[in-house]
Structure 1
Amino acid sequence: MAGARDLMSDEISRSSVGTGTAIAHHGELIQGVFKDDGGRLHRGLVTLPIAGLRSEASFARSDDDAIVVHPDHKIKASAAARLTLDFLNVTGGGVLTLQSSIPVGHGYGSSTADVVASIRAVAATLKIQLRPSSIGRLAVAAERASDAIAFDDHAVLFAQREGVVIENFGGALPPLLLLGFKAKDGIPVDTLQLPPARYDSAEIQEFGVLRALVARAVRHQDPDLLGRAASASAVISQRHLPKQGFHEVAEIARRAGACGVQVAHSGSLFGLIFDLFASNLKRRAALVAQQIRRAGFKDVDVHLVNAEGWTW
């Protein structure tokens, strides 16, 4: 990767400080194993971005080779900064400072947001804007498994352990209201310590169908199709990485007329997907949130997805 020049700008000019940001996500809409155009299987996912939570990074270059990071436990972000300098053929190091509003360990993509923000900040010191595909590859190199938040609100099927796009869906997800919350135990999860799920041939075939549903949902901006795909993927995930209270959540979603149930496949998050244009949505969402709290789930919150101009 060192020496590669996959840049939007050919001109490198030195700047003392660069900044970068990256949004969080609420786990995945679908996650599984998918075929590429050549028929080869890849582990992949479609990320559900939430712009209300984010990581912010600043990077001050120095002639010293060291990368100093604040807070000092953000070692993945530090690795990403070094990889980015190497990728851009830049000597020296610098001071990387991170601030984040993203909760750690529940499936919000806190470490990937730190990594992506850091990559963008390092590139910004050189007045370079890296392509999302380059950022994705660097993020995987820094943390072994990543997600697609480098693509912001653009929907892609992303191979999280390879850093490549399996399918570009050609647009953003439809506008959604997401009622998000944590499982009753609410225990943080170390994603990299979880063994990858071993899907059978029937499940892999089903993932192909779910991928097609997501593609159609993006093309037609159809939240109901997206919810169907997310619910089916969540059911498969429940066989491999079960979440406490899943069936109770599925029943609440059914009664509430939600488009579907979404989960962080390797985290503790649940989400109920609603069409942002549905009638009486604010009242319905408030009533469902009360039910979820009474049932003992944690940290219930409302997120608007691709809802520019909307307030809640």
Structure 2
Amino acid sequence: MIPAARRGSPGADRRGTHRRGAGHASCHHGEILQGVFLDAAGRRCAGLVTLPMSGPGSRAEFTRRPGTPPERLTVRPGDRTKAARAAALAVEECARRCGERPCGGELRVSGDIPVGLGMGSSTSDVIAVVRAVAASYGLRLPPAAVARLAVRAELACDPLMLGARPVLFAQREGRVLEVLGHRLPPLVVVGCALGGGAPVDTLSLPAPVHDDHDVRAFERLRVLLRRAVATGDAALLGRVATASARHGQRLLRHPEFDALVGIARRLGAVGVQIAHSGSVAGLLLDPAAPGLRHRVRGCVRALESDGIPTTRTFTTFPAAPGLPDPADLPNFPTTKESPSGPAHRGGHRPTGPDTPRRPARLPAL
């Protein structure tokens, strides 16, 4: 059961009025599975399962000004249009829950998620903002309410408000179609960026059309992914992710896709995953297989030899007995990144023909 909003104490002034709040949200590393699925009523829904990633994220600070009109809302940086919408919607929601009038305030957003790679940068901003506004009212909104506000703010959102729990999520409706399990199987991910890390012009892509055959294929992958999560089967998850990435090639047409799959096959990776709305990708390895460090190094060398820039190696598990220490893996980030970071250099402008096609600052990943 999802908990109701709870009162907290952050940002309280001497009179007990909550005025300031802070929020944070993480990112993801693209999708494991994305397509069209059937909900409990048999209705078709666009859905996805993301690959969680710790490290980069968005931070927001909100100071509300009781007694000011709600339209008096300032946002820094000024180009965060989705964050601004999220703040206004969250103020309206939280004021209603507290029996108060909506008011204006000041919002500041920062982060270190590169834009355009398909890592959920806009959703991370929006969720951090909603959490900051809620904290300024002394509330903690339940995930379902955060998801609903996020969809209203940006039309579609990623399931970052749900943490690392693997779910099939209807991104345009902000609802969970299925909880697949408690956690993903242990994986080591060797990250990279296709297309040199240039933003994907998602607005120029044709709208995907899925027939009954496609829906049946996605439903079969859903069943396999459910089984992979239930049994901790990294190899089966890799098969699902690769099949989903191959299906996404119909629209994305990454020229490096065959090379990526070839590297995975040669070096014993269980599969590949690719963001369906960006250029970030990963080779998926089973940490229980022998020679892990050697295989990770081989993947990094092979990617760079084929002109595919590597980003970072990360895992779906913390350090634990019986599993390798993530910090011992090659290409694993060992230094703490700057909180300000090279965040959102393009703001939330949609990528399009006029978007600068420079490579993303990949070390920031």
- The structure with the larger Rg is 2
Name 2:58's counterpart in structure 1: 55
Question: In the comparison of the two structures, how many residue pairs are matched?
Answer: 307
Q: TM-score, normalised by structure 1?
A: 0.93
CA distance in 1, matches of 2:126, 2:37: 25
The answer as to 2:75 corresponding to 1:69 is yes
Runs of 4+ in 1 over 3 A off after TM superposition: 10-14, 190-196, 308-311
Name 2:6's counterpart in structure 1: 9
The answer as to 2:326 corresponding to 1:311 is yes
Moved more, 271-280 or 48-57: 271-280
The answer as to 2:231 corresponding to 1:220 is yes
Shift in CA distance, 101/142, structure 1 to aligned 2, threshold 3 Å:
same
Shift in CA distance, 269/164, structure 1 to aligned 2, threshold 3 Å:
same
Cα-to-partner distance string for 1:174-233 (whole Å, 9 max, x where unaligned): 222111111134321254554431122222111001111121122122211111110111
Moved more, 165-174 or 206-215: 165-174
> How far 1:85 moved relative to its partner?
1.2
The structure carrying a bigger strand percent of its residues is 1
> How far 1:60 moved relative to its partner?
1.1
Aligned sequence identity (%): 42
Superposition pairs for residues 1-312 of structure 1, below 5 Å? Answer: 7-9=4-6, 14-63=17-66, 64=68, 65=70, 66-88=72-94, 89=96, 90=100, 91-191=102-202, 194-308=205-319, 310-312=325-327
> What is the letter of the counterpart of residue 62 of structure 1?
R
Cα-to-partner distance string for 1:65-91 (whole Å, 9 max, x where unaligned): 222111111110111111111122251
Q: TM-score, normalised by structure 2?
A: 0.80
Secondary structure in 1 matching 2:157:
coil
Whether the 8 Å CA contact 1:174–1:223 is kept in 2: the answer is: yes
CA distance in 2, matches of 1:278, 1:100: 35
Moved more, 299-308 or 165-174: 299-308
Secondary structure in 1 matching 2:197:
coil
Cα-to-partner distance string for 1:143-199 (whole Å, 9 max, x where unaligned): 111111111101111111111111112312122211111113432125455443112
CA distance in 1, matches of 2:213, 2:268: 28
Q: Which runs of 5+ in 2 are unaligned?
A: 10-15, 328-365
Cα-to-partner distance string for 1:11-53 (whole Å, 9 max, x where unaligned): 8974221111111111100000000111100000001110111
CA distance in 2, matches of 1:169, 1:259: 20
Shift in CA distance, 307/277, structure 1 to aligned 2, threshold 3 Å:
farther
> What is the letter of the counterpart of residue 71 of structure 1?
P
> How far 1:108 moved relative to its partner?
1.0
Whether the 8 Å CA contact 1:184–1:296 is kept in 2: the answer is: no
CA distance in 2, matches of 1:303, 1:136: 26
CA distance in 2, matches of 1:275, 1:104: 29
Shift in CA distance, 195/146, structure 1 to aligned 2, threshold 3 Å:
farther
CA distance in 2, matches of 1:205, 1:18: 45
CA distance in 2, matches of 1:289, 1:193: 31
CA distance in 1, matches of 2:195, 2:326: 29
CA distance in 1, matches of 2:81, 2:205: 20
CA distance in 2, matches of 1:215, 1:14: 46
